[in-house]
Amino acid sequence: MNRFSKKSALVFFLVAMATFLVSRPNNHEQEREEGKQFLDMTYPFDETSIYWPTAKPFMLTKVAWGKSEAGWWYASNEFSASEHGGTHADAPIHFAENGRTIDQIPLEEWMGPAVKINVTRRCAGNRDYLLSVEDIEAWEKEYGKIPLDAWVIMYTGIGTAYYPDRKKVLGTDKTSQEALPELSFPGFSQRAVEFLLRERDIRGIAIDTPSIDPGNSKDFRAHRILMAADKLALENIANLDKLPEAGATLFVIPMLIKNGTGAPARVFAILP
């Protein structure tokens, strides 16, 4: 398969944006007219959004919400949150001292073929399951070699089944430092990340849990190895049960934060 080129990526992106911007009566009509299906893979941000236990959660404050003194309607909110929570992206600077920040990553790096590796059965039996090289090889045996510039997505099933239930997703409903010893959810193994970086040319990796590292990690090796290689990560992505194992194209639109180590992101896919 040819490299997912900059030109192809931008064409896909422009088509996607044009489709989102046009008005459409319903999804079925949009699919008939455009010949494409879109899958939103983003959780809405609100007071239930899942953040790292030590991070500042999402807060929305209504500044104005009603008729003005002059008689017209006016509404405005303020919001605040940590960079790393809800559906979000990680930039290399997050775990690599000289890594790029969110604003330094060009648009074309935020899109590419979507590879979904389904390990839901293994995760159901082991909340601390680690994606293995064997899991990757099993996917390739069925669907072919991972495409160039792909997003490799670990589908644990935990986010799909339980988000935004903090206890069921994180393994604990505690907050702050006291929550950290009780965190329990699956992630990428060190060997799997090293294999993808050494043997495959990927855009980044993604997962439907709050971290690409497992909840019980003490050294965040998946983050450290991935970010040292200048690659990207997505966490807390939604609707993986509706994403096919192969053939879709993933798009990420992170908030463009100057010097950002990560950012809330709108993630979606064009389905085959």
pLDDT in tens, 26-52: 443 334 346 789 999 999 999 999 999
pLDDT in tens, 76-87: 999 999 999 999
Separation between Cα atoms, residue 118 and residue 53, nearest integer Å: 27
**φ, ψ for residue 117 (rounded to 5)?**
-105, 110
Q: What is the reported pLDDT for 28?
A: 39
Separation between Cα atoms, residue 235 and residue 153, nearest integer Å: 10
CATH number at residue 214: 3.50.30.50
Amino acid found at 53: P
What DSSP string runs through 140-158?
Answer: HHHH-SPPTTEEEEEE-SH
pLDDT in tens, 111-161: 999 999 999 999 999 999 999 999 999 999 999 999 999 999 999 999 999
Separation between Cα atoms, residue 173 and residue 176, nearest integer Å: 10
In a domain, 15, yes or no: no
In a domain, 244, yes or no: yes
Separation between Cα atoms, residue 207 and residue 119, nearest integer Å: 11
Q: What is the reported pLDDT for 4?
A: 52
In a domain, 18, yes or no: no
Tokens of 97: 């001292």
- Angle, helices 133-143/190-199, rounded to nearest 10 degrees: 50
Range of the domain at 149: 39-271
* Residue of 146, 203, 270 lying closest to 6 (CA atoms): 203
Instruction: Give this prediction's pTM.
Output: 0.88
Centroid of chain to Cα 180: 22
In a domain, 13, yes or no: no
Give me the number of domains the chain comprises.
1
